[in-house]
Amino acid sequence: MSHEDFPTDDPAVVTCGLPYANGDLHVGHLRTYVGGDVYARALERLGQQTAFVSGSDMHGTPVAVNAEQEGVSPENFALEWHERYAETFPKFNVDFDNYGHTHDETNTELTRDLVRDLDERGHVYEKEIMVAYDPVDDQYLPDRYVEGTCPYCGAHARGDECDEGCQRHLEPGEIEDPVSTITGNPAEYRERTHKFFAVSEFADYLSDFLDRLEGTSNARNQPREWIEQGLQDWCITRDMDWGIDYPDADGEETDLVLYVWVDAPIEYVSSTKQYADRAGADVFDWEAAWRDDADHDGGQIVHVIGRDIIQHHTIFWPAMLHATDHVEPRAVMASGFVTLGGKGFSTSRDRAVWADEYLEEGFHPDLLRYYLATNGGFQQDVDFSWERFRERVNTELVGTIGNFLYRSLLFAHRNYDGTPEGVETASEEVTAAIDEAVADVTDAVNDYSVRDLGDAVTDLAGFGNEYIQRNEPWALVDDDPDAAAQVIYDCVQIAKAIAVLFEPIAPDTCERLWNQLGEDGSVHDVTVDAATEPPAGAFEEPGELFEKIPEERVEELNEKLEERVAEASDADTADAVEDADTTDAEDDGTADKSGESAASDLEPLAEERIGFEEFEDLDLRVGRIVSAEGIEGADKLARLEVDLGVETRQIVAGIKQLHDLESLPETRVIVLANLERAELFGVESNGMVLAAGEEADLLTTHGDAEPGTQVK
Ligand SMILES: [Zn+2]
């Protein structure tokens, strides 16, 4: 890696992947935005000049398809979501220097300039290709307008991306057995002339670029494989109205618009420009950050994205930048997915913890920020659970950080009205501990690890607790007042350091702490140097910064969630893998809702093999339904008594509306007998009845195996 460590003298830009303006944000989405915000704030704490930007992705077929289904114009549809996002991010203290959108004038102009430049430099050519067309509706079907089968892995694929299978980007014409997502009509392929960006010419450059690229390792490894397999040129135009018109260099008009993935990343540049235009070039020089030409050296660009859009950020985008004298990204941080109870969030099935919902529950945004930033490495997939959330809040935020701050600052206030006077400086031991924390924070930034940023502070607070306990200032106050004053001065110094170093993760709480310490100005404006500067002086009686979450709260939240999860997923008891609907990726709303036919909902076969021993862990038995009745108050749940030979089990199944319950007794079923017990709507479920698909088609036996017979 050839990059100079942060902080550098260059301007830096931290970007977050653009959310598609077509649906509500959930906790899974927030992981990337919180991660980006934490990282940008940490860079600023190091004294690195930084712009933090993003914007809404207004174009593309997910937006157009959803708008069409709602009967509104794509522009109005997308603008409404854009405004929602622009309001939601600040509620979580995700504090962009600029949050624009891809349809605004700045981005339209910069996009047309850049594409014209690509064209004039000879990187764009025309080619006849086959595109999907709905002959009944007389409409071309780009991207999300069409679904079918992935030619690479056979998975059901939507439009331009095999998002349920091999995750490949799909070029127009590649999808097999195409069907219109709007009308359900079988599509045919027609020949059209489109524009192509010659990405394949950049294969060598991109290989070298990946060697230099910093960030998370997944952002390097995946694209290396794609390059080895051979890069295909990239179709950058579409047959549709919604989007940015293709800018022809010679003034000749086309009726094509640019593919959404052309103008989306350019919004990173446009958003930076809007920030610079507003703040002034002396505050931030957007061209110095983005251009790498005779007049500019380029800045430090860090892209924070979800791992499903790695290809766009490590192949297409750097090739576009490199071809047009822009600086290449320094780092790509690609976050793993967030699952819920081990399965993907699903917008269409309402299986999610929504951003608004979290706030309505009355939790402070800093708690979620801490949890998202530190629960697992950034590129790891992590599971969201309220229990784990409570545990982290109670143990680390309340138990370690909050406890240290409260006990030491209360003691300081009661005995000294704040920072003890007459102490010149913090002790050597404490200064060394703070220096170490600052070094850990610096390393965390250069390692692109938001988790390490959090750990650096919990470690420092842990040291503080141990320090005050070991030195017992309460015992020294009378006998050795100087020593007691030194210990408490040290503790106030640690508290000040925590305010500075924890600001990226818990900005609001740290500002309160900063004010509590009687410090001037805002903690958002200081650098890590402030961590070792002498504390201010007098301060008021401190309050508790974090509150414990009682166990009952978690039970209550889990019940709410379980109710929804049960309602949403009981239809698929046989449980195919849920669609992993991710951070800033295209949402699954449309295709799921319109894809009523069973074939269009088929999941790819699992790639990962298991050993026979793992199969043997499943205790599968033949059962005989003894009785079946609906559970009162639950729309979909039924309570079954199932005879398993050795005993009769009570099992809850999501089949209430899908089967005539009276006809079920005596039916043979297959039961997973050693599944963990669960409680659904207050009824214990002791096992699982296997069923296939959305209709919960019950699995039964071909012959007449006795109840209790093992299935193997
Ligand atoms: Zn595929």
State in Å: Cα 246 to ligand 1 middle. 29
**Residue among 575, 708, 690 nearest 649 (CA):** 708
Residues with Cβ within 8 Å of 86's Cβ and at least 6 positions away in sequence, in order, are 56, 99
State in Å: Cα 555 to ligand 1 middle. 40
Residue 601: pLDDT over 50: no
Q: Identify each DSSP E strand in 62-149 by its residue range.
A: 98-101, 124-134, 139-140, 146-149
State in Å: Cα 380 to ligand 1 middle. 22
Residues with Cβ within 8 Å of 213's Cβ and at least 6 positions away in sequence, in order, are 219, 220, 314, 329, 330, 331, 332
Contact 578, 347 (CB under 8 A): no
Query: What backbone phi and psi angles, to 5 degrees, belong to 146?
Result: -130, 145
Kindly tell me the sign of the dihedral angle through the C-alpha atoms of 50, 55, 61, 63.
positive
**Which pLDDT score is estimated for 186?**
95
Helix (H) or strand (E) holding 300: strand 300-306
**Strand 146-149 with 139-140, pairing:** unpaired
Contact 519, 496 (CB under 8 A): yes
Structure tokens at 376: 């697992």
State in Å: Cα 571 to ligand 1 middle. 26
Q: How far apart are CA 475 and CA 497, in angstroms?
A: 25
The pLDDT tens digits for 429-438 are 999 999 999 9
Tell me the C-alpha to C-alpha distance, in Å, between residue 269 and each of 165, 273, 401: 32, 6, 39
> How would you classify residue 112: left for phi > 0, otherwise alpha for psi between -120 and 50, otherwise beta?
alpha
Residue 694: pLDDT over 90: no
State in Å: Cα 171 to ligand 1 middle. 12
Q: How far apart are CA 61 and CA 231, in angstroms?
A: 24
**Which pLDDT score is estimated for 495?**
98
State in Å: Cα 591 to ligand 1 middle. 16
3-state secondary structure of 348: coil
Residue 597: pLDDT over 60: no
Query: What backbone phi and psi angles, to 5 degrees, belong to 707?
Result: -55, 135
| pLDDT average, residue stretch 521-530 | 98
State in Å: Cα 225 to ligand 1 middle. 15
**Which pLDDT score is estimated for 458?**
97
Residue 326, beta-bridge partner list: 291
Which residue carries 């708008």 as its tokens? 67
**Strand 668-672 with 620-630, pairing:** antiparallel
Residue 578: pLDDT over 50: no
The pLDDT tens digits for 543-570 are 999 999 999 999 999 898 888 777 766 5
State in Å: Cα 155 to ligand 1 middle. 5
What number of H helices and E strands is found in the chain?
Answer: 22, 27
| pLDDT average, residue stretch 242-260 | 83
| More confidently predicted of 580 and 453 | 453
Residue 598: pLDDT over 50: no
* Report for 167-171, 237-241, 276-280: range of highest mean pLDDT: 276-280
Contact 309, 18 (CB under 8 A): no
State in Å: Cα 580 to ligand 1 middle. 14
State in Å: Cα 257 to ligand 1 middle. 26
State in Å: Cα 574 to ligand 1 middle. 23
- Start-to-end Cα distance in the chain: 52
CB atoms within 10 A of CB 660: 7
Contact 60, 143 (CB under 8 A): yes
Residues measured by CB to lie within 5 Å of ligand 1, the ion: 150, 152-153, 155, 162, 165-166
State in Å: Cα 607 to ligand 1 middle. 11
Query: What backbone phi and psi angles, to 5 degrees, belong to 119?
Result: -65, -50
Tell me the C-alpha to C-alpha distance, in Å, between residue 618 and each of 596, 606, 642: 32, 18, 18
Tell me the C-alpha to C-alpha distance, in Å, between residue 63 and each of 20, 185, 298: 7, 20, 33
State in Å: Cα 401 to ligand 1 middle. 46
Residue 586: pLDDT over 50: no
**With helix as H, strand as E and coil as C, how does 170-209 read?**
CCCCCCEEEEECCCCCECEEEEEEEEEECHHHHHHHHHHH
CB atoms within 10 A of CB 547: 14
| pLDDT average, residue stretch 501-510 | 98
Q: How far apart are CA 175 and CA 189, in angstroms?
A: 10
State CA 117 to chain mean position distance.
Answer: 33
Residue 161: pLDDT over 80: yes
State in Å: Cα 156 to ligand 1 middle. 8
Structure tokens at 576: 């195919």
Residue 588: pLDDT over 80: no
User: What dihedral angle (degrees, nearest 10) is formed by the CA atoms of 596, 597, 599, 602?
Assistant: 20
Q: How far apart are CA 36 and CA 52, in angstroms?
A: 8
State in Å: Cα 163 to ligand 1 middle. 7
| More confidently predicted of 704 and 90 | 90
Q: How far apart are CA 642 and CA 699, in angstroms?
A: 14
State in Å: Cα 164 to ligand 1 middle. 7
**Which pLDDT score is estimated for 251?**
59
Contact 629, 639 (CB under 8 A): yes
Residue 593: pLDDT over 70: no
Peptide bond into 7 cis (omega under 30): yes
Residue 41: pLDDT over 50: yes
Residue 584: pLDDT over 70: no
> How would you classify residue 418: left for phi > 0, otherwise alpha for psi between -120 and 50, otherwise beta?
left
**Which pLDDT score is estimated for 599?**
34
Query: What backbone phi and psi angles, to 5 degrees, belong to 411?
Result: -60, -40
Structure tokens at 401: 């950080």
The pLDDT tens digits for 326-368 are 999 999 999 998 988 777 787 766 778 999 999 999 999 999 9
The pLDDT tens digits for 78-112 are 999 999 999 999 999 999 999 999 999 999 999 99
State in Å: Cα 175 to ligand 1 middle. 10
| pLDDT average, residue stretch 266-287 | 97
State in Å: Cα 61 to ligand 1 middle. 19
Least confident stretch, 80-94, 384-398, 481-495, 611-625: 611-625
**Which pLDDT score is estimated for 663?**
84
Structure tokens at 681: 């709507």
| pLDDT average, residue stretch 159-184 | 88
**Which pLDDT score is estimated for 349?**
67
Query: What backbone phi and psi angles, to 5 degrees, belong to 450?
Result: -70, -25
Contact 515, 536 (CB under 8 A): no
pLDDT, averaged across the chain: 90
Least confident stretch, 104-108, 160-164, 300-304, 610-614: 610-614
Least confident stretch, 62-76, 262-276, 456-470: 62-76
State in Å: Cα 143 to ligand 1 middle. 15
In the sheet with 146-149, reading across from the earlier edge strand, the strands are 156-158, 146-149, 176-180
The pLDDT tens digits for 380-393 are 989 899 999 999 99
State in Å: Cα 133 to ligand 1 middle. 22
State in Å: Cα 317 to ligand 1 middle. 22
Q: How far apart are CA 92 and CA 353, in angstroms?
A: 14
Which residue carries 């507003």 as its tokens? 278
State CA 510 to chain mean position distance.
Answer: 24
| pLDDT average, residue stretch 39-60 | 97
State in Å: Cα 150 to ligand 1 middle. 5
Residues with Cβ within 8 Å of 230's Cβ and at least 6 positions away in sequence, in order, are 200, 203
**With helix as H, strand as E and coil as C, how does 32-66 read?**
HHHHHHHHHHHHHHCCCCEEEEEEEECCCHHHHHH
Kindly tell me the sign of the dihedral angle through the C-alpha atoms of 355, 358, 364, 369.
negative
CB atoms within 10 A of CB 282: 7
State in Å: Cα 350 to ligand 1 middle. 26
State in Å: Cα 166 to ligand 1 middle. 4
| More confidently predicted of 411 and 637 | 411
State CA 706 to chain mean position distance.
Answer: 48
**Which pLDDT score is estimated for 613?**
77
Q: How far apart are CA 434 and CA 493, in angstroms?
A: 9
Helix (H) or strand (E) holding 510: helix 507-516
